[in-house]
Amino acid sequence: MSETVGMVVGVVLALIVVSFILGIGMFIYYQAYSTISSLNLGATGNTTRTTIDTNVWNAFQVLTPLPIILGASAVITALLAGFLWIRSR
């Protein structure tokens, strides 16, 4: 039973860490982009900067449901561990 509790605590900590990392990553990127966006890099540089900005924000949007997916995985894992523990008795 203590293994299940440890697993659940680990998953909760993972959810918290992933949420903080996403938030911190978005903040750092926003600060860096706001500094870089004021520079004139020429036609090719400006196009590259815009492409990088679009791709990074798309990646953050894809990662947004990650904590929800991890939470659902934790619930499924806890249920399976509980069923296995009950069956082993």
pLDDT, tens only, 15-56:
778 778 877 888 888 888 888 877 888 888 889 888 988 888
How far apart CA 39 and CA 78 sit, in angstroms, is 51
Q: Are 16 and 64 in contact (CB under 8 A)?
A: no
Predicted structure pTM score: 0.56
For residue 3 the two structure tokens come to: 């293994």
- For the chain, give the percent of residues with pLDDT over 90: 0
- Please name which of 87, 81, 80 lies closest in space to residue 1, comparing C-alpha atoms: 81
For residue 77 the two structure tokens come to: 């894992």
For residue 10 the two structure tokens come to: 């680990």
